[in-house]
């Protein structure tokens, strides 16, 4: 009976396998939601300039990409019941390390966080893709929506923690404990099968050489990742340091962005079906640009929060639309998506030191202006994308 239900993708079995994955990605998003609000206290504790912090982010991103390209292949024959919880646990160690480390170990801790990010992005997406194939349900869409939901809960919790003047290290430690809890849940529920085939596909970048038309979706995703990644690491500093917002107000503003991203991602597939990828990308880029421009020009936290809300809704469908452009190419979808994702991740390497340098030499408002230029890049890529009938 249980075997028959498994073959049919029965509802109870789908929930038992999918919910732990969603919880794991939620804890992943919650870590970054906590970080974006508490990074100012961390920066002050360790006397890090904006440019120095930008270099730390680049180191983190290099560790993540290196893990995806070199580390993950050596683990791909492990059971997902091992690799999925191990990925979450690795980031948990990094999160707790951020809370308790001395300044001399800042570099090491950022590397650990980067490795955890790389492992999570490979193995939780592999596991979600497997469940999506089995159940014929949009598990990947739910997975990335749960990340945005984690950003909401993390930023809200961090803002509340600082509002009552508790030590910021408690928030980082709590984020690590949540990651450990979801790691334990996945250790009990994840499927007992290797990720070799999917992981190998995720790590292939040769598709870009075989099919140059993939550069359009690749650059689209690059700009999308740059916007979302920059919001995850710089928006809190912008609000608190540039505008003088309290931690609670900054948390509420980021909740507006992450919450809109969460709600928008739940309906992203319907938007794509109705408008088509090309129109969705153009509209997303224009909407994100309008929201970003308002956020950069305003000095009022409430207005910036409203602008973040607009950015979140606009950007929620841009990434999925960028990935969907690979369907218009002759390349194998798995290899194409892998190549597009790899190009997207490079933005996390070069953008943090650039924004950090701009923040140090000009100010954080100018650094946030780079995000507006990234939305312009999204719009331009939309115009270059091949026309395709909706649906």
Number of residues assigned to the chain: 391
Q: Residue 14 pLDDT more than 70?
A: no
pLDDT of residue 83: 85
Residue 4, pLDDT score: 41
Domain range enclosing 146? 1-203
Q: Comparing 12 with 317, which gets the higher pLDDT? A: 317
pLDDT at 141 over 80: no
pLDDT value at residue 360: 83
Is the CB of residue 40 less than 8 Å from the CB of residue 241? yes
**Same structural domain for residues 236 and 196?**
no
State the average pLDDT for the chain.
83
Same domain? 124 vs 215: no
What confidence score (pLDDT) does residue 200 get? 47
Same domain flag for 167 and 220: no
| Among 32-41, 222-231, 374-383, the least confident range | 222-231
- The whole-number pLDDT of residue 192 equals 64
CA distances in angstroms from 13 to 51, 189, 191, 277, 374, listed in the order given: 48, 10, 11, 33, 41
Return all residues near 181 (Cβ < 8 A) that are at least 6 apart: 27
**Total domains present in the chain:** 2
| Sole residue written with tokens 């954080």 | 364
Tell me if 29 sits within 8 A of 149, measured CB to CB. Answer: yes
Going by pLDDT thresholds of 50, 70 and 90, the confidence category of residue 76 is low
Question: What integer pLDDT is reported at residue 390 of this predicted model?
Answer: 44
- Residues 233, 168 within the same domain: no
One domain for residues 217 and 193: no
Q: Do residues 226 and 134 both lie within one domain?
A: no
Q: Are residues 140 and 95 in the same domain?
A: yes
The pLDDT of residue 292 is: 92
Domain final position from 188, 203, 218: 203
Q: Do 225 and 117 share a structural domain?
A: no
What is the per-residue pLDDT for 269? Answer: 63
The pLDDT confidence band at residue 170, using thresholds 50, 70 and 90, is very high
| CATH code of the domain in which 121 resides | 1.20.1250.20
């Amino acid at each position: 009976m249980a075997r028959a239900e498994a073959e049919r993708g029965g509802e109870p079995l789908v929930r038992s396998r999918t919910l732990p994955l969603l919880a794991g990605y939620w804890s992943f998003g919650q870590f970054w939601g906590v970080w974006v609000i508490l990074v100012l206290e961390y920066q002050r504790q360790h006397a890090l300039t904006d440019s120095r912090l930008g270099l730390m982010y680049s180191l983190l991103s290099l560790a993540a990409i290196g893990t995806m390209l070199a580390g993950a292949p050596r683990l791909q024959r492990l059971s997902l019941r091992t690799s999925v919880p191990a990925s979450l646990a690795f980031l948990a160690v990094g999160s707790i390390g951020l809370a308790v480390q001395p300044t001399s170990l800042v570099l090491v801790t950022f590397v650990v966080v980067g490795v955890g990010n790389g492992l999570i992005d490979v193995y939780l997406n592999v596991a979600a893709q497997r469940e999506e194939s089995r159940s014929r349900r949009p598990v990947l869409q739910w997975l990335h929506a749960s990340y945005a939901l984690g950003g909401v809960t993390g930023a809200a919790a961090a803002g509340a923690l600082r509002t009552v003047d508790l030590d910021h290290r408690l928030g980082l430690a709590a984020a690590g404990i949540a990651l450990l809890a979801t790691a334990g849940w996945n250790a009990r529920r994840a499927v007992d099968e290797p990720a070799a085939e999917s992981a190998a596909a995720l790590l292939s970048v040769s598709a870009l050489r075989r099919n140059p038309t993939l550069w359009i979706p690749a650059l689209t995703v690059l700009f999308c990742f740059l916007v979302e990644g920059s919001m995850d690491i710089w928006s809190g500093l912008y609000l608190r340091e540039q505008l003088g917002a309290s931690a609670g107000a900054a948390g509420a503003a980021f909740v507006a962005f992450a919450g809109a991203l969460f709600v928008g991602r739940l309906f992203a597939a319907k938007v794509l079906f109705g408008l088509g990828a090309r129109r969705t990308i153009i509209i997303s880029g224009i909407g994100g640009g309008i929201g970003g421009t308002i956020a950069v020009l305003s000095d009022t936290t409430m207005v910036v929060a409203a602008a973040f809300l607009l950015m979140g809704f606009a950007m929620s469908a841009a990434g999925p639309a960028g990935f969907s452009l690979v369907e218009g190419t002759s390349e194998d979808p798995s290899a194409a998506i892998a190549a597009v994702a790899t190009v997207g991740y490079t933005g996390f390497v070069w953008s943090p030191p650039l924004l950090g340098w701009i923040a140090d030499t000009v100010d954080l408002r100018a650094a946030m202006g780079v995000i507006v230029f990234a939305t312009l890049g999204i719009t331009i890529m939309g115009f270059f994308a091949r026309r395709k009938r909706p649906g």
